[in-house]
Chain A
């Protein structure tokens, strides 16, 4: 059955599986049923069952992956829309984002190193808090495994979305701005969608956290990594 590994067939399959996963998530409302995660599991199973090589799938995959870079560039539009908010509270935002970013990189690297992870894995974890396309780019730049980063980032997002509000309640973070910001900073798009569930105001600050931490992480990760090496 050579047709099962046809490039366009596997493209169509990827679209269909992702669309179905989206429907599944919105019907059930369960945030851990992340469409990326579910689609990847189904496609991996498909490849294994039909004994199709990953290189074969990547023939189709590269057409999809190609759009990652322009999609990151497109984030410039929401960034532009938030510029006036950013300017109004520039210092508190920058200081808390800078702290969150640096502490995030250092803590994940030191804990992973302490628990005996290999250097390749440690480098893949450094950018785990930020949105996947940025995180993968950072991982590529510092020499980790981009697809490991992709998986970790999704899991971090799901965990942050589920546990975020409880953690903040326990640590007495009460202001809506701080809560939204923290969720976006620690758990990127999934934290942002969780914040969006509460209110638009939370959501706006969460997407601000996502954007600023994305930029800081891209700018600072190589430097922070070389400092704690």
Chain B
């Protein structure tokens, strides 16, 4: 488990380092995720060296953002004032994403 943590936190630390060095506007965690997938692909890291910890984190990641959802109580005023744009924009946009992604995929499958 310690080795698994070392690998996962190592990827995260590399991500932090890249953000610090280049100043790119990307979350360090996303870069860390890409680094981990890359290391697995080139066999520098073996699946069994990370799988246990990774499965634990992925399966439970809903729990990790409960505190963020609780912090929502700080923004009740904003939500009360702007619930209509938030609701309508999110719902309409979700339908648009569903339809556009599906259509484009069905159409592009015919060409490639």
Q: Does B17 contact A (CB under 8 A)?
A: no
Give the dominant DSSP class at B's interface. helix
A54→B74 contact, CB < 8 A: yes
Chain A CB within 10 Å, residue with most, of B50, B54, B66: B66
Q: How many residues of chain B get a CB closer than 8 Å to chain A's CBs?
A: 72
CB-CB under 8 A from A204, the residues of chain B are none
- Total A-B pairs in contact (CB under 8 Å)? 322
Quick one: which of B5, B36, B67, B95 contacts A64, CB cutoff 8 A?
B67
B97→A148 contact, CB < 8 A: no
Q: A92-B105, A104-B96, A167-B99 are known contacts. Are A137 and B25 too (CB-CB below 8 A)?
A: no
A73→B66 contact, CB < 8 A: no
Docked complex Cα distance between A178 and B86 (Å): 27
- Nearest A-chain residue to B14, judged by Cβ: A73
Say how far A59's CB is from chain B's closest CB, in angstroms. Answer: 10
CB-CB under 8 A from B90, the residues of chain A are 108, 125, 128, 152, 155-156, 159
* Nearest 10 A/B pairs, CB to CB: A61-B67, A76-B36, A137-B27, A100-B101, A173-B102, A40-B69, A115-B85, A96-B105, A72-B29, A108-B93
